[in-house]
């Protein structure tokens, strides 16, 4: 399942799942365009991957909430490699606060990064991906299928992302372009540490027990396999699959079970 000579753009590539994807896809032979706000970190990652796997990796400073940054990311990919085969919309931001307590700017921030970031990058990459009949991937969440307490902005942004990708997939049905939505479930990454509290400041600690969660590397491997096999949807955990199924057929019961689950997290917001 190699990606030799493929050009792959990854947003949010400086840490977590994005960084793990860069390593996994470099190992499989892909040339990479890595986008994130942390430019120095990106350059270090790119240099390490080039040295280790003899591929080419381009670091591009990019804040996906800014349309012009997303346009530049795609433009630099094309200027450097001459094509785009795969776009992985991975950049994301989370939150943890009750809706009644939070500043509304937090929800706007999450929509700008999680939803609009994917829209901007996809808009500018699509003409190139149509040429290569490549793939557009969105790293979403179970929160995009089932609203989670304390995560109103996060769930909203992921629901919007899922709807956008589903509509886009249908539009592109006869073009040969592959569209995949990925729902990793709870993963050991820094997204919960960086999650915004009610005042917009990062929590700085996770609210969940991470010992039994999937690693970012395992998620990256499964996403890479899914792209290679041109899967439609990738819900990775049994808990996630059960949540999607139960929410569809037993929504009121699922409300209660989700409440009970989140009432058990550290410093629970609901009781």
Contacts of 164 (CB under 8 A, 6+ apart): 115, 118, 119, 122, 138
Q: Could you read off the pLDDT of 182-198 as tens digits, one per residue?
A: 999 877 666 656 788 88
* Confidence (pLDDT) at 208: 54
- In the chain, what are the domains? 7-238 (3.40.50.720)
User: For the segment 214-257, what is each residue's pLDDT rounded down to a tens digit?
Assistant: 899 999 999 999 999 999 999 999 989 999 999 999 999 999 99
Q: What is the pTM of this model?
A: 0.93
Contact partners, residue 189, CB within 8 Å, separation at least 6: 15, 16, 17, 216
Q: What integer pLDDT is reported at residue 194 of this predicted model?
A: 74
What value does the mean pLDDT of the chain take?
94
Catalytic-residue membership of 124: no
pLDDT digits 0-9 by tens, 38-67: 999 999 999 999 999 999 999 999 999 999
Whether residue 160 is predicted with pLDDT greater than 90 in this model: the reply is yes
> Is residue 206's pLDDT more than 70?
no
Cβ atoms 88, 139 nearer than 8 A: yes
**Residues paired with residue 120 on neighbouring β-strands, in sequence order:** none
**Secondary structure element (H or E) that encloses residue 44, with its range:** helix 39-53
Query: Which residue out of 120, 124, 145, 154 is catalytically annotated?
Result: 154
């Amino acid at each position: 399942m190699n990606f030799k000579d493929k050009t792959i753009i990854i947003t949010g590539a400086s840490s977590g799942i994005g960084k793990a994807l860069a390593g996994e896809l470099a190992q499989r032979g892909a040339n990479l365009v890595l986008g994130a706000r942390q430019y120095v970190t990106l350059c270090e990652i790119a240099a390490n991957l080039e040295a280790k796997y003899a591929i080419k990796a381009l670091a591009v400073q990019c804040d996906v909430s800014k349309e012009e940054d997303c346009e530049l990311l795609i433009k630099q990919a094309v200027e450097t490699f001459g094509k785009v085969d795969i776009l992985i919309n991975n950049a994301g931001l989370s939150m943890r606060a009750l809706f009644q307590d939070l500043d509304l700017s937090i929800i706007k921030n999450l929509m700008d990064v999680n939803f609009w970031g994917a829209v901007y990058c996809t808009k500018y990459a699509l003409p190139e991906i149509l040429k290569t009949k490549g793939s557009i991937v969105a790293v979403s969440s179970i929160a995009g299928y089932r609203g989670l307490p304390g995560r109103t902005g996060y769930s909203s942004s992921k629901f919007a992302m899922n709807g956008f990708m589903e509509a886009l997939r249908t539009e592109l049905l006869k073009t040969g372009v592959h569209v995949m939505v990925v729902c990793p479930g709870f993963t050991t990454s820094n997204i919960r540490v960086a999650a915004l509290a009610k005042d917009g400041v990062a929590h700085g600690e996770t609210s969940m027990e991470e010992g039994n969660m999937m690693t970012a590397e395992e998620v990256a491997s499964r996403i890479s396999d899914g792209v290679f096999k041109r899967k439609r949807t990738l819900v990775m955990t049994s808990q996630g699959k059960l949540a999607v199924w139960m929410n569809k057929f037993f929504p009121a019961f699922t409300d209660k079970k989700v409440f009970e689950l989140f009432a058990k997290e550290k410093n629970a917001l609901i009781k």
